[in-house]
Amino acid sequence: MNSTLGRSPTVGLLIGLIITLAAVAAYSWYITRQISGLRALQTDLADRNRKDTLQLLRIQNDLNTVALAMRDILDNDEHYPVTAWSAQFDRIQADLTDALQREERVAVGGRPPEQQRYLGASLAQFWDATGRMFAVARQGRDADARLQIQLSLQSRQAALSTTVARLLVQNNESEDQTAQRVEAIYGQVARQVYGFLGVTLVAISLTSLYLIHANRRVYAELAMLSERRQDLAQRLITAREETLREISRELHDGLGQILTAMGSMLGRAAKHAPEGSPLRAELREIGEIAQTTLDNVRGLSQTLHPSILEEAGLDDTIAWYVSGASRQIGVEVSYERSGPAVDVAASIGIHVYRVLQEALSNVARHSGAQQAWVRLRLDARALQLEVEDRGRGLKAATARRGLGIVTMAERAELMAGTIDFLTPAGGGTLVRLRVPIGGPEHDGR
């Protein structure tokens, strides 16, 4: 069997399946990591850029507030001293210092460090100049203090505002660059996914082609084995029938003739014995035993191979067998026939007869029923034989493993027919044999 079927494709298919699943799992993990990292990068950059922009807007707002305060100092119509704005400038300085520190922590990494140092140094210089201006004002020199505002502080404030505005523009550009970078990464991941899907589809296609090829090879070998098994079963059944025919012929022609001769000789010997003598009675008794043995031998000969099948046909053979089956198997058998008279080849008839024998034998041995029904239906193209009882029913294990069941199925297959083992509505067992007996689908075996 192993040499006929060759190497099983199961190992190769399992290896291919394991490799494919491992590749899918590894790549799925890789893509998940890539997407998670990309999502984290996008979230981090967007969050930092948003916070940086908010702090820059805060710085710009403070610088605008400083500009307004300096304008108020210069346009002071009520002649307030310059030092009156000192507290306001202190609050603005504290807020600007805090905003600058926060902005340095969340500044986008792509910004040159020189810009950050320049902004911090410019703010420090501005507040130094502001401190000197308020020191002059505290000496009562408001005019000099206002002159410093006009000559130095306003230009410094304008330069700081410009720097912050430039940083805001850079933040917007950085956000656009981040979006382009993320889009490029998404595009790369998408191309990798499509590439992996393509490779996976190719692997699946190759595996499927290999599986189809392996299945076709296995099915072809199984078909060849099935054909060999069927041929072997036919040979075995044919050899069995030939053997039974020879044994039947020997019993009928050999032992039967001997018993017939013995009966004749005992009859003649009894005539020579005196009437009423014990010898004559014993000879008659021996003759009766010989006749009974002869009848049994002829019955056994017909059971082994019914010669009536070749002489009278399947219809009469089944009727003859059923008529004596009640006495032979101890079960009352009712017979029903329907359909026109059809000649059935002896090669088919012997198989139908054996199926009937085995089915009734199973009724007697396994069902426990006291009655069985045999139905034969014939038409020009098909034959259907049914054997039904109301016994215990056919167990599944028996249906699978019983030698008689297997033999019946083999005979049905040899006739290109079908056989079913059913459970009727009332319980018990129904054996249904269907055999084609005409038409092009029948091979005549």
Which tens digit of pLDDT belongs to each residue from 414-444? 888 999 999 888 888 999 999 998 643 444 4
The fourth-level CATH superfamily of domain 306-436 is: Histidine kinase-like ATPase, C-terminal domain (3.30.565.10)
pLDDT for the residue 257: 75
Domain boundaries, the chain: 2-212, 306-436
**pLDDT, tens only, 249-293:** 677 667 777 877 777 887 777 777 777 778 777 877 887 887 888
Give the whole-angstrom CA distance, residue 336 versus residue 163: 114
Over residues 27-62, the pLDDT tens digits come to 778 878 877 777 777 677 777 778 888 888 888 898
Residue 13 has which token pair?
Answer: 């298919």
C-alpha–C-alpha distance, residues 4 and 2, integer Å: 5
119 or 373: which leads in pLDDT: 373
Q: 179-192 as b/e, with b when 16 or more CB fall inside 10 Å?
A: eeebeebeeeeeee
How far is it, in rounded angstroms, from Cα 175 to Cα 52?
11
Question: 295 and 238 in contact (C-beta within 8 Å)?
Answer: no
Average pLDDT rounded to a whole number, residues 194-201: 81
Q: List Cβ neighbours of 310 (8 Å cut-off, separation of 6 or more).
A: 346
Among all chains, which residue has been given the structure tokens 């501005």?
Answer: 126
Which of the pair, 243 or 315, is modelled with greater confidence?
315
* Type of residue found at 159: A
Contact, 370 vs 331, CB < 8 A?
yes
- 68 has which bridge partners? none
pTM of the model: 0.48
* Apex 168 CA angle, 165 and 172, nearest 5: 140
The pair of structure tokens assigned to 62 is 């403070």
Rounded mean pLDDT, 169-193:
78
Q: How confident is the model at residue 1 (pLDDT cuts 50, 70, 90)?
A: very low
Amino acid at 127: W
- Give pLDDT, residue 108: 63
- From 393, 377, 384, select the one nearest 433 (Cα to Cα): 384
Please check the confidence at residue 397 and state whether its pLDDT lies above 50. no
pLDDT at 65 (0 to 100): 92
Cβ proximity of 54 and 171 under 8 Å: no
Residue of 293, 269, 297, 291 lying closest to 282 (CA atoms):
269
- Alpha carbon distance 307, 247 (integer Å): 12
Q: What is the pLDDT of residue 13?
A: 67
**pLDDT recorded at residue 29:** 82
